[in-house]
Structure 1
Amino acid sequence: MIEMPLPPSPGAAEHVSIDLVNSVVHLPGGRSVDALDTPESTTAWLIDRGLVATGSELQSYCQNRLIGLRNDLQAAFVSAVTGEPLDPRVLDRVNAALVAAPHVSLLRTKAGGGFARSAEHPVTQLVEHAMSVVADDAATLLAGDDVALLAQCGAEPCTRFYLRTHGRRQWCSTRCGDRVRAARAFARKREAAAVRR
């Protein structure tokens, strides 16, 4: 699995939709790190979140579909944060993902007796199941009370989303906040040096 350069943002552990949108991180200097960079890393990301079974192998087609959902959810989150209208086609695609596959785990019997729930689907429906779960989480977030806490990181070039844990928070991580504060301090020092000349 790809090592992400920033810790998960507040709310990503509770909302897999925030986690998906934040699966690409834009860094200073034009660099980006994408947890869904390959079919293998996409599969590992989904396994790590319990959205597909261990041993699953997704193809590039599935990877591209999940990246498409990520892009659509990012647009929906931007709309929720800024109040800008959302392209109806984006909403149609999110709703299509929402109903693409049942996201309820089925009841199964265990080999040694007893019961367990599992999200077993035919291989052709693995990504549909995962997308349905993620889209359901996004719909719950966007239509619920927590949407008022949804924010986008204010540290350029970061575009990650987070849930505000307190009213003044402006960044998705302390690392982004430290970068902004350091840039401001450097700008003040440069300005003071220019005034002294």
Structure 2
Amino acid sequence: MFDQQTALGFANTRLNRPSGVVEKLGDPAIASLWLEQSAGYRQPRGLKRAEFERLLEVRDGAQRLLRSRLAGQSPGADDVRLLNEASAAAPVAAQLDATWNESLRFSRSGSAEPQSLDELLAALATATISLAADASVDLAECGADDCVVIFERTDPRRRWHNDRCGNRMRAARSYARHKADAAQT
């Protein structure tokens, strides 16, 4: 249901930067807004405290899973259990995709839109598991000094998750080079 970019966005909602923690899901109201804008999930009554805490728990597990993949380490058993449990909440139905003149294919899928927070978390956990297990996806952490965003590297030369980080790092190198040149003269 969700693509791998949504899973990355979800994992990147908490960033432990050298300058401090940046929490994009600071409270239930902000988290509800993020879910609506990024995942297309709208809960009219907003998130209750327990739902909010569950959302953060799954997000933190997703982030640790992706970070362990980046480090080339096995994921923690608690994170595997957490994400497997969340993913298992997805409603599954047998579906046929058939063109009688061609091949008959069988797939398993849930509803198009999540109907509950558990279904949403299941979809996010499933997308994260798919992302972490997909060896063809080149994950990297932004190369900027103060940025810890995980992104999909679509070009092997790419070092930063966006142009802003790249421009800041190039400007910092240029400044340091000019400062060193001035000190030598």
Verify the 8 A CA contact 2:32 2:43 in the aligned structure 1. Answer: no
Verify the 8 A CA contact 1:23 1:36 in the aligned structure 2. Answer: yes
The equivalences for 1:46-125 within 5 A come to 46-53=35-42, 55-102=44-91, 104-105=110-111, 118-120=113-115
- In structure 2, the residue matched to 1:135 is 125
Offset, 1:156: 2.1
Distance 1:54 1:86, change over 3 A: closer
Are 1:144 and 2:134 counterparts?
A: yes
2:69 counterpart letter in structure 1: A
Verify the 8 A CA contact 1:15 1:138 in the aligned structure 2. Answer: no
Offset, 1:13: 7.0
Offset, 1:33: 4.1
2:114 counterpart letter in structure 1: A
Are 1:181 and 2:170 counterparts?
A: yes
Distance 1:99 1:155, change over 3 A: same
* Gap regions ≥5 residues in structure 1: 1-11, 106-116, 121-125
CA distance in 1, matches of 2:145, 2:56: 22
Offset, 1:37: 1.0
- In structure 1, the residue matched to 2:102 is none
The one of 14, 17, 23 aligned to 2:13: 23
Identity across the alignment (%): 28
CA distance in 1, matches of 2:31, 2:49: 9
Offset, 1:144: 2.0
Verify the 8 A CA contact 1:43 1:56 in the aligned structure 2. Answer: no
Offset, 1:85: 3.0
CA distance in 1, matches of 2:151, 2:129: 16
Offset, 1:162: 1.1
Supply the RMSD in Å over aligned alpha carbons. Answer: 2.4
Deviations 1:67-87 (A, max 9, x none): 222221111111212202322
CA distance in 1, matches of 2:119, 2:73: 30
TM-score normalised by structure 2 residue count: 0.78
- In structure 1, the residue matched to 2:29 is 40
1:139 counterpart letter in structure 2: I
* Gap regions ≥5 residues in structure 2: 93-109
TM-score normalised by structure 1 residue count: 0.74
Distance 1:85 1:119, change over 3 A: closer
Aligned residues: 167
SS across alignment from 1:49: helix
Verify the 8 A CA contact 1:52 1:119 in the aligned structure 2. Answer: yes
Verify the 8 A CA contact 1:26 1:159 in the aligned structure 2. Answer: yes
Distance 1:51 1:100, change over 3 A: farther
Q: Runs ≥4 in structure 1, deviation > 6 angstroms?
A: none
Q: Which has the higher contact order (CA 8 A, sep 6+)?
A: 1
